[in-house]
């Protein structure tokens, strides 16, 4: 450990990927070294050999691949090889290729030649095909159980692999055994046409995997009404309607209903194309206006009109104070009350020789840096403090001895933290990207592969307790709530594990897998679990992190930050990130539902925090976003006018001048603290609603 002193020399062999990627050898495997003198004359004859020459692997599985450099005679050499591969699709590590996303890709292997060597290093492109595993089960999920002449019902099929994971966007083929009785369109919408029986079959990958039989009956109802909902609402308010069919005075059960709406805008310029969402009677509007909700069943139509006004969520936000860091990139932050009763914050640094800074923030308008600590690391990506303020932890990536691990601090004197110990075993030597701290245990990521649970009741003698490693998956973050760990695992989505809740038989010593929430359309970087008291719902807020802007009109200047070079005049550009926030209704862990999203165009999410029905979302170039997430959530939160405030910190003296790149935010005692990669620690306050907005 070093305090106010230069660090040990860092290994030049390590390559750092995107701003939130683990410090790993390139594509998880980089072995560097000079070519032995005896081979110097033979360098031009070197070639790379792969066994097998091409790789086929299944998503969620791994396959062997041996890559070596041979000389002209075919004999192996000790020349090192570096590898590059699309990280979102596959990973090569320890002689095995792991598949994450179906498609055709390449691993590029390049020989690492000695310093001063002329010529182009030998290179080999190794084709890799990643295939989906076979689908073994299809659930049809019909919107109604009964079908009558003139009515329509829909299906929402889910295709499952043998391990229970979902196939994203499968291609289904639908067929009716008697189209004269019941027709089915290419999307699984079934319409009853005549009395009789028909079987609807569903095929995927050329195999019929599900069938559902319907007895089509004459339409029985003579009246249809709508109940529930409201006559007035705000944009973003979810209204739930129910349609009731009757035959005389008797209610008709299980009547299929098609829901729709018409729209008259308050502002005539606004087009009605995507102004609202209605699904099985649940309705939410995005813009103000007059909406007429329609329930249609056979020949009957019922109507209910709702006037929707603007949400008027905007509040004024003002800067309170700053803790500038302009000589390097800032990473994460943590704000806490020290054991001495004063308030403090810790900030880490990214690719900045292992520094962490300690701030007294008792007076947020006059933030004071009280200490700094340097550890043997390239990056202190994460900083965490126990809820009781007794200890803190600094994550390490890129240590000079490659041992990385975590540094545990005694916070008895928060203004003068003391290194109590380091933990460098059970895989954390591969790099600790993120952590989660409870009073007694520290959850630390290990090499981007698993998380390790450490007993820190005695911070001077940390002890390994247990670990959880999800098969063939990469991990980025972990958050623990009520004895359940939610780990963010990129294309795998969120993995949910009982680490002491007990409902699924898990304990801190014996973690038990509960379920996984797959999100293959994104890249799950962070997850925040939140219980909403007003509705009783339990939401998971999942943030993507996708490097670059591939597929968008403006792809940016690449994913990497480029400091300005005064000699060449190049650089000074913040990397382009994309991805958005997904909201999952996790109230029923056995049936998680994707219900809402929050997206900022041309920006990408990073860390988030939810407290008192307010979301504090770090959105890199999009700044700090403060969003109203009260009430049931459904649809596009941004378009519903739920944004309360936005703050974009700009500093002409920043590490990248005037470039906004907010890393994370944390509400604390009426203020919101947040870190910006280019300018350090900031604190702002969202002002009460009653104050006029200028």
- Residue 100: the pLDDT is 84
Q: What is the pLDDT of residue 350?
A: 94
- Mean pLDDT confidence for 112-138: 89
Selection from 498, 490, 450 nearest residue 470 by Cα = 450
Tell me how far apart the alpha carbons of residues 60 and 493 are, in angstroms, rounded to a whole number. Answer: 12
Question: What integer pLDDT is reported at residue 486 of this predicted model?
Answer: 97
Give pLDDT tens digits for 173-204: 999 999 999 999 999 999 999 999 999 999 99
Q: How confident is the model at residue 499 (pLDDT cuts 50, 70, 90)?
A: very high
- Tell me what the mean pLDDT of segment 420-442 comes to: 95
**Average pLDDT of 672-690?**
95
Residue 24 banded pLDDT, cuts 50, 70, 90: very low
Exposed (0-12), middle (13-18) or buried (19+): which is 6, by Cβ within 10 Å? exposed
What digits encode the pLDDT tens for the residues 151-167? 999 999 989 888 777 88
The more confidently predicted of residues 55 and 691 is: 55
Residues of the chain with CATH 2.60.40.10: 223-309
Nearest to 604 by CA among 555, 545, 650: 545
State percent of the chain over pLDDT 70.
90
What sections of 522-606 are H helices per DSSP?
Answer: none
Domain with CATH 2.130.10.10 in the chain: 317-686
Distance between CA 199 and CA 270 in Å, rounded?
44
Cα 581 off chain centre by: 7
Q: Which residue has the higher pLDDT, 30 or 283?
A: 283
Other beta carbons within 10 angstroms of residue 226's beta carbon come to: 19
**Whole-angstrom distance, CA of residue 369 vs CA of residue 55:** 53
Fold of 135-217: Immunoglobulin-like (2.60.40)
Topology of domain 317-686, CATH: Methylamine Dehydrogenase; Chain H (2.130.10)
Assigned architecture for domain 223-309: Sandwich (2.60)
Q: Taking Cα atoms as reference points, which of 116, 607, 649 lies closest to residue 333?
A: 607
Q: Which range is most confident: 348-352, 471-475, 491-495?
A: 348-352
For residues 84-104, average pLDDT: 88
**Alpha-carbon distance 144 to 152, whole Å?**
9
CA end-to-end distance (rounded Å), the chain: 49
- At 666, is the secondary structure helix, strand, or coil? strand
Asked if the model's pLDDT at residue 339 lies above 70, the reply is yes
User: The CATH number of 31-131 is which of 3.30.1180.20, 1.10.10.10, 2.60.40.1080, 3.10.580.10?
Assistant: 2.60.40.1080
SS3 track for 232-281: EEECCCCEEEEEEEEECCEEECCCCCEEEEEEEECCCCCCCCCCEEEECC
Query: How large is the average pLDDT for residues 37-42?
Result: 45
- pLDDT of 498 reads 97
| Structural contact between residues 41 and 34, judged by C-beta atoms closer than 8 angstroms | no
Structure tokens, 549: 């802007």
Q: Work out the number of other CB atoms within 10 angstroms of the CB of residue 486.
A: 23
The boundaries of every CATH 2.60.40.1080 domain in the chain are 31-131, 135-217
Q: Could you tell me the pTM of the whole model?
A: 0.86
């Amino acid at each position: 450990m070093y305090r106010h002193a230069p660090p040990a020399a860092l290994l030049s062999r390590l390559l750092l990927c995107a701003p939130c990627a683990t410090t790993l050898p390139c594509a998880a495997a980089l072995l560097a070294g000079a070519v032995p003198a005896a081979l110097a004359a033979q360098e031009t004859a070197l070639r790379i050999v792969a066994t097998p020459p091409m790789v086929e692997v299944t998503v969620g599985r791994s396959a062997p691949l041996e890559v070596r450099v041979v000389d002209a005679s075919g004999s192996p050499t000790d020349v090192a090889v570096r590898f590059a591969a699309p990280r979102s699709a596959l990973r090569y590590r320890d002689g095995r290729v792991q598949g994450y996303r179906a498609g055709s890709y390449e691993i590029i292997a390049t020989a690492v030649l000695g310093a001063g060597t002329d010529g182009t290093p030998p290179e080999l492109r190794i084709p890799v095909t990643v295939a989906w595993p076979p689908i073994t089960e299809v659930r049809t999920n019909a919107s109604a159980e009964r079908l009558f002449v003139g009515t329509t019902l829909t299906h929402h099929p889910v295709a499952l692999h043998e391990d229970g994971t979902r196939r994203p966007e499968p291609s289904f083929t639908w067929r009716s055994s008697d189209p004269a009785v019941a027709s089915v369109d290419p999307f699984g919408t079934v319409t009853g046409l005549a009395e009789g029986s028909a079987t609807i079959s569903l095929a995927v990958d050329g195999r019929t995997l599900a069938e559902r039989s319907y007895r089509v009956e004459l339409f029985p109802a003579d009246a249809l009404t709508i109940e529930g909902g409201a006559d007035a609402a705000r944009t973003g308010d979810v209204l739930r309607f129910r349609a009731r069919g009757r035959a005389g005075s008797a209610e008709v059960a299980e009547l299929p209903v098609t829901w729709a709406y018409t729209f008259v805008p308050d502002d005539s310029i606004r087009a009605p194309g995507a102004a609202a969402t209605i699904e099985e009677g649940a309705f939410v509007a995005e813009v103000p206006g007059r909406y007429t909700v329609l329930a249609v069943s056979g020949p009957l139509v019922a109507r209910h009109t709702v006037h929707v006004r603007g949400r008027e969520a905007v509040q004024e936000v003002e800067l309170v104070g700053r803790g500038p860091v302009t000589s390097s990139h800032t990473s994460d932050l943590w704000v806490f009350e020290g054991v001495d009763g004063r308030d403090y914050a810790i900030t880490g640094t990214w690719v900045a020789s292992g520094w962490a800074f300690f701030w007294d923030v008792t007076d947020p308008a006059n933030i004071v840096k009280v200490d700094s600590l340097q550890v043997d690391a390239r990056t202190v990506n994460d900083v965490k403090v126990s809820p009781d303020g007794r200890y803190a932890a600094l994550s390490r990536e890129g240590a000079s001895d490659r041992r990385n691990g975590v540094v545990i601090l005694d916070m008895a004197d928060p203004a003068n933290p003391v290194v109590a110990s380091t933990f460098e075993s059970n895989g954390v030597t591969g790099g600790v990207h993120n952590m989660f701290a409870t009073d007694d245990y520290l959850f630390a990521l290990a090499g981007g592969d698993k998380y390790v649970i450490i007993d820190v009741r005695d911070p001077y003698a940390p002890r390994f307790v247990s670990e959880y490693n999800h098969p063939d998956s990469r991990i980025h973050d972990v958050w623990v709530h009520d004895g359940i760990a939610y780990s963010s695992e990129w294309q795998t989505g969120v993995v949910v594990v009982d680490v002491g809740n007990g409902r699924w038989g898990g304990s801190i010593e014996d973690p038990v897998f509960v379920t996984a929430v797959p999100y293959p359309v994104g890249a799950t970087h962070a997850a925040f679990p939140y219980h909403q008291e007003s509705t009783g719902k339990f939401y998971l807020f999942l943030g993507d992190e996708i490097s670059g802007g591939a597929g968008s009109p403006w792809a940016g200047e690449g994913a990497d930050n480029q400091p300005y070079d005064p000699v060449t005049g190049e650089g000074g550009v913040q990397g382009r990130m994309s991805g958005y926030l997904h909201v999952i209704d996790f109230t029923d862990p056995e049936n998680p539902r994707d219900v809402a999203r929050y997206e900022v165009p041309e920006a990408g999410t990073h860390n988030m925090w939810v407290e008192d029905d307010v979301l504090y979302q770090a959105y890199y170039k999009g700044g700090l976003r403060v969003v109203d997430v009260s009430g049931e959530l459904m649809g596009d939160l941004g378009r519903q006018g739920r944004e309360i405030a936005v703050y974009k910190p700009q500093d002409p003296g920043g590490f990248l001048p005037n470039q906004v790149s907010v890393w994370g935010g944390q509400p604390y005692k009426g203020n919101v603290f947040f870190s910006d990669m280019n300018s350090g620690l900031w604190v702002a306050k969202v002002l009460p609603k009653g104050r006029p907005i200028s």
